[in-house]
């Protein structure tokens, strides 16, 4: 500890080694991943997000949905995600390659949303966002009423609500991937 340079080099190594071994190596391994067809000659997955969904992703971030929802399905041995129907297969790295901001989350108050687009219809999603407790009694999710405007017989979604729901509808990992086949 008496030699400052050696001391600082040691400290630096403490940060640099794990960085190189864990992060640089996975960037090398995963950075080259691209889209892949689910079957020979079929369309490529994950599909490109429609423009409206990209706007919706921004709304998802703005409203802090990440604080309560994840977007990752763990494999069968690691928790009950698949058993409870949150996905037909575990999430794989390839599912995220098109996302500039990955919102996989690290806490769950509510369900995982990686496949919510395959699970719920647009109307159900709007209803859930505007008044969660009308869908699930006593829901802990806050009502996002400010995304809706009252009209004669009900509610009209604002542009942000339309974009957010387009984003949620785009969330689906229900295609086969070279790393994870769908269960028959």
Q: How many CB atoms lie within 10 A of CB 44?
A: 12
Residue 177: which of another protein, ligand HEC, none does it interact with, CB under 5 to 8 A by kind?
none
Q: Read off the DSSP letter of residue 36.
A: E
Residue 20: which of ligand HEC, another protein, none does it interact with, CB under 5 to 8 A by kind?
none
Residue 119: which of another protein, ligand HEC, none does it interact with, CB under 5 to 8 A by kind?
ligand HEC
132 touches ligand HEC by CB under 6 A: yes
> What is the distance between the alpha carbons of residues 96 and 101, in angstroms, rounded to a whole number?
9
* Piece of 37-45, 72-80, 106-114, 154-162 that binds ligand HEC (CB under 6 A): 106-114
Question: Residue 144: which of 171, 119, 168, 172 has the closest Cα?
Answer: 168
Q: Which residues bind ligand HEC (CB under 6 A)?
A: 60, 63-65, 67-69, 109-111, 116, 119-120, 125, 128-129, 132, 135-136, 139-142, 144, 164, 168
């Amino acid at each position: 500890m008496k030699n400052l340079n050696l001391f600082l080099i040691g400290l630096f190594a403490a940060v640099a080694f794990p960085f190189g071994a864990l992060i640089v190596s996975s960037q090398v391994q995963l950075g080259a991943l691209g889209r892949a067809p689910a079957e020979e000659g079929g369309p490529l997955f994950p599909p490109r997000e429609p423009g409206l969904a990209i706007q919706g992703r921004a709304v998802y971030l703005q409203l802090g949905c990440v604080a309560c929802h994840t977007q990752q399905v763990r494999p069968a041995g690691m928790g009950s995600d698949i058993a409870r129907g949150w996905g037909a297969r575990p999430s794989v790295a390839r599912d995220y390659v098109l996302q500039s901001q990955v919102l996989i989350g690290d806490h769950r108050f509510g369900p995982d949303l990686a496949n919510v687009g395959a699970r719920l219809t647009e109307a159900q999603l709007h209803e859930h966002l505007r008044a969660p407790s009308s869908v699930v009694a006593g829901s802990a999710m806050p009502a996002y009423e400010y995304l809706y405007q009252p009209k004669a017989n009900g509610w009209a979604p604002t542009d942000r609500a339309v974009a957010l729901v387009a984003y949620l509808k785009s969330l689906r990992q229900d295609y086969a991937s070279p790393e994870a086949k769908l269960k028959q």
